[in-house]
């Protein structure tokens, strides 16, 4: 009898491989953004489609991911800078137990909503295979950009994409 590797372990292994190889993948994507509903850090359920009309940066992350931790303050700056122009960041924590994520958020404070994907529902819809994974969605609810991994400074790419979509 063969046992399947838990999704969290598969994700961790892919993150390690991505990091070891020093790879980040970025580029344009297309198609409707799959809708989902997840519980947020405020206790409310949030549905992605409720953000239609805004540019959304969807960031999949985990507390054990060093690059995710580094990226959070940069995402928060983007959120604060462009939120008045119809932009929001949604952080999606992929851990089955959100306790570690909640502890991390006490250290690394952010102003954007954090969603807890404890069943990996949204992660599967977006085929997340690397940490962090960022998907940028236009005002019409279509995926436009995808970025896997993170190295300091790469948030400038997000800024360029976000500004472009805000202007559309």
pLDDT tens per residue, range 64-109: 999 999 999 999 999 999 999 999 999 999 999 999 999 999 999 9
Is position 71 within any domain? yes
Is position 8 within any domain? no
Is position 28 within any domain? yes
Strand-pair partners of 87: 55
Is position 94 within any domain? yes
Residue 88 sits in which domain range? Answer: 23-167
CATH of the domain at 132: 3.40.30.10
How does residue 30 score in pLDDT terms, banded at 50, 70 and 90?
A: confident
pLDDT tens per residue, range 132-158: 999 999 999 999 999 999 999 999 999
Is position 4 within any domain? no
Q: Is the pLDDT of residue 12 over 70?
A: no
Quote the number of domains for the chain: 1
93, 99, 105, 106: CA torsion to nearest 10: 180
Average pLDDT, the chain: 88
Is position 15 within any domain? no
Given this model, what pLDDT does residue 123 score?
A: 95
Closest CA to 32 of 144, 129, 124, 127: 144
Which secondary-structure segment (H or E) carries 13? helix 7-21
How does residue 7 score in pLDDT terms, banded at 50, 70 and 90?
A: low
Is position 1 within any domain? no
Is position 85 within any domain? yes
C-alpha Rg value of the chain to the nearest Å: 15
Q: Is the pLDDT of residue 35 over 50?
A: yes
């Amino acid at each position: 009898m063969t046992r399947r590797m838990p999704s969290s372990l598969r994700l961790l292994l892919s993150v390690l491989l991505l990091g070891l190889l020093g790879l980040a993948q970025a580029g344009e994507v297309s198609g409707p953004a799959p809708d989902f509903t997840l519980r947020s850090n405020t206790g409310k359920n949030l549905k992605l489609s409720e953000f239609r009309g805004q540019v959304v940066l969807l960031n999949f992350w985990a507390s054990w991911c060093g690059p995710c931790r580094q990226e959070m303050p940069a995402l928060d700056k983007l959120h604060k800078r462009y939120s008045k122009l119809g932009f929001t960041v949604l952080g999606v924590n992929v851990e089955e137990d959100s306790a570690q994520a909640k502890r991390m958020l006490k250290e690394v404070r952010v102003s954007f909503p954090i969603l807890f994907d404890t069943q990996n529902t949204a992660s599967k819809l977006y085929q997340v295979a690397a940490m962090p994974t960022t998907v940028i969605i236009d005002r019409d609810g279509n995926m436009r950009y995808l970025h896997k991994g993170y190295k300091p400074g790469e948030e400038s790419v997000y800024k360029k994409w976000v500004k472009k979509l805000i202007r559309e």
